[in-house]
Amino acid sequence: MMKRVAAVLASVAALLLFGLPPAAEAQKKMDKVTLRLNWYAYGEHAPFAYGLKKGFYEAEGIDLQILEGSGSGPVVQAIGAATDRFGYADAYAMAGLAAKGVPVKMIATFVQTSPLSIIYFADKPIKGPKDLEGKKVSFTAGDSIHQAFQALLKVNNVDKSKVQEVYFDPRGKMTAVMAGQVDAMGGYYTTQAGQIEAQTKKKAAYFRYVDFGVNALSQGLLVNTKYLGDRDLNCRMVRASSKAWMEAAKSPDEAAAILVEMFPKAGAVELNLQQWKDTVQLMYTANTRGKAAGWMATADWDTLLSLQKTYGNIETKAPGEYYTNEFFDCK
């Protein structure tokens, strides 16, 4: 008995003399980090909430705060101004702003097949881009959906002067459709189509940009270029996020429930579950299947930049100016 007490006392003395063990030290060195989402929280964001709840970020020494946003354009601008450490935004919007000098770079893209769509009630006489002539379409000005819409019109020979674009904040553009102020809206079929149906009990329909010649990488993690040298934190953030996306894809029900628990205004679990399941189908391209979630292929960036140069009149640079996979290769 006395030997056991002596051993305990010796251990306590050692802790006082040499400090806390490595695990306790790690807890002291957590990096407080913000992640600004592209939108109000919805099913697509489930992996980040899942990873936070499951301790993936904590295990990497990251004290993560997830903040809602109001469109990819504003998020890219915020990251360019170093307002937040990490952003989650659309690659098309990011590349367009980067070409204009905003100092940002994509370090992982988790949604690699575009969910961009034009959404409307099913009883509207709309099947494709040409049907938008003579119609009112709501957008949030400058976001990725609006920017890529210009390419959609040109690719499909739509007379832009015959399409009336009406601008609202992110929630307002959907309200405008439901109230009959506009005929359609630019959005994500993975998100707003289900929300419109849930709120109005009327059947919604959509056509996807990808089905009419405009496909580009979509949502991913970006940083201000001045933080590219912080390799350690970037590696840990990419590693935790990639794991979160892959694991949440395996546990969609739990991931959706965690998101709604964290962000109650996201709506019903069932709606967010469907949004997340739809997003899982968009996580890879033919060039990236078999890779870690978020890893990007040069060929996919070539496609995105070609669209911007050809139809957006944007002077683009080499793909390496816009993205890097370096934080997937961390030793």
Whether 8 is in a domain gets the answer: no
Find the helix or strand (DSSP H, E) in which 32 lies.
strand 31-36
Strand partners of residue 87: 36, 222
Last residue of a domain, one of 185, 212, 239: 212
Enter the pTM of the model.
0.83
Residue-wise pLDDT for 215-242, tens only, equals 889 999 999 999 999 999 999 999 999 9
User: Span 62-90, mean pLDDT?
Assistant: 96
Look at residue 309 and tell me whether its pLDDT is greater than 80.
Answer: yes
Please report which confidence band the pLDDT of residue 314 belongs to, taking 50, 70 and 90 as the band edges.
confident
- Which domain-ending residue is among 162, 188, 212? 212
Task: Print the domain residue range for 188.
Answer: 116-212
What are the angstrom distances between the C-alpha of 287 and each of 60, 92, 317? 28, 18, 21
Residue 121 belongs to some domain of the structure = yes
The answer to whether residues 220 and 91 belong to one domain is: yes
Token couple for 253: 């029900």
pLDDT digits (tens, 9 = 90+) for 110-161: 999 999 999 999 999 999 999 999 999 999 987 778 888 999 999 999 999 9
Q: Within this chain, do residues 106 and 221 fall inside the same structural domain, yes or no? A: yes
Tokens for 132?
A: 């938008």
Task: Say whether 101 sits in a helix, a strand or coil.
Answer: coil
pLDDT value of residue 315 = 87
Instruction: Tell me the pLDDT tens digit for each residue of 86-96.
Output: 999 999 999 99
Report if residue 23 sits inside a domain: no
Q: Are residues 199 and 260 in the same domain?
A: no
